[in-house]
């Protein structure tokens, strides 16, 4: 494959391919070429990925690879790679292995000396952070916290003295409890709450934590959220 130019190995390659988080125009030309040329695409949700492939008239075979089957399916994917096939790993949206399945497959490829090549592109955490209006010379990405309130508070308490900007993912039905826990443990810090980035109803709220709580209590949260919080001063 032409996209394997980064590797001098004659072995097959696992390509970690970033896909759009909403707007399909955000996919890169290199990602499209890779998805067309590999022998197989390992997708977190085959239905979602088929829609993407259909939009760009790509007919590469797909197999499911998600949290529940990644150990069993990983064996088969490694066998395909050792047999000479090139594979692409994709998640539902954004960059694989970032709060998504794939880490273990990458580790196994490294252990088997199978080249792993990134095809970079969109990541929701970076997209949200870039427009948050908070310092990004260094930051901490925490992804999704535990859905259990006790564990969530314990995790946040451990971050309460962190001076770097903090980035979290959160679901709509847990957003308010998350923000309330942040208010309790961090205080009324500056915050940016981004939802549905690159999609029709994209929104970025900027203010402080109490204002964010008021806003999302008044309007039912919808969509997936990325929350960017100022570090402790």
Using one digit for the tens of pLDDT, what is the confidence trace for 135-192?
999 999 999 999 999 999 999 999 999 999 999 999 999 999 999 999 999 999 999 9
Under 8 Å between Cβ of 205 and 128: no
DSSP code of 190? E
Tokens of 204: 């970025």
Answer whether residue 8 shows pLDDT above 60.
no
Q: Check residue 9 and give its pLDDT.
A: 41
H runs (alpha helix) in the chain: 29-37, 46-55, 70-82, 103-111, 124-130, 149-159, 175-186, 209-218
Q: At a CB cut-off of 8 Å and minimum separation 6, what does 177 contact?
A: 149, 152
State pLDDT tens for residues 174-190.
Answer: 999 999 999 999 999 99
Under 8 Å between Cβ of 197 and 21: yes
Average pLDDT over residues 44-72: 92
Answer whether residue 7 shows pLDDT above 70.
no
Higher pLDDT, 88 or 11: 88
Answer whether residue 129 shows pLDDT above 80.
yes
User: Rounded to a whole number, what is the distance in angstroms from the first to the last CA of the chain?
Assistant: 49
CA dist 38 and 99 (Å) reads 24
Under 8 Å between Cβ of 117 and 4: yes
Q: Please, is 125 exposed, middle or buried when counting C-beta atoms within 10 Å of its C-beta (0-12, 13-18, 19+)?
A: buried
CA dist 100 and 94 (Å) reads 9
Return mean pLDDT, the chain. Answer: 93
Q: Check residue 66 and give its pLDDT.
A: 87
pLDDT band of residue 227 (cuts 50, 70, 90) is very high
Q: Check residue 10 and give its pLDDT.
A: 54
């Amino acid at each position: 494959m032409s996209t394997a130019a980064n590797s001098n190995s004659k072995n097959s390659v696992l390509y970690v391919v970033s896909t759009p988080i909403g707007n399909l125009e955000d996919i890169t030309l290199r990602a499209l070429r890779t998805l067309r040329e590999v022998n197989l695409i390992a997708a977190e949700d085959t239905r979602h990925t088929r829609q993407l492939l259909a939009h760009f008239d790509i007919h590469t075979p797909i197999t499911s690879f998600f949290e529940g089957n990644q150990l069993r399916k990983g064996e088969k994917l490694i066998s395909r790679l050792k047999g000479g096939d090139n594979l692409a790993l994709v998640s539902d949206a954004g960059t694989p292995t970032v709060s998504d399945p794939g880490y273990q497959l990458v580790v196994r490829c490294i252990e088997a000396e199978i080249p792993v090549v990134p095809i970079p592109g969109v990541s929701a955490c970076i997209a949200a952070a870039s427009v948050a209006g908070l310092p990004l010379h260094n930051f901490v990405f925490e992804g999704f916290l535990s859905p259990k309130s006790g564990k969530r508070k314990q995790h946040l308490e451990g971050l309460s003295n962190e001076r770097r900007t903090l980035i979290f993912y959160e679901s709509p039905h847990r957003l308010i409890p998350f923000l309330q826990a942040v208010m309790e443990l961090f205080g009324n810090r500056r915050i940016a709450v981004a939802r549905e980035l690159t999609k029709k109803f994209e929104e970025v709220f900027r203010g402080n934590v109490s204002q964010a709580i008021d806003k999302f209590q008044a309007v039912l949260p919808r969509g997936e959220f990325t929350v960017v919080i100022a570090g402790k001063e």
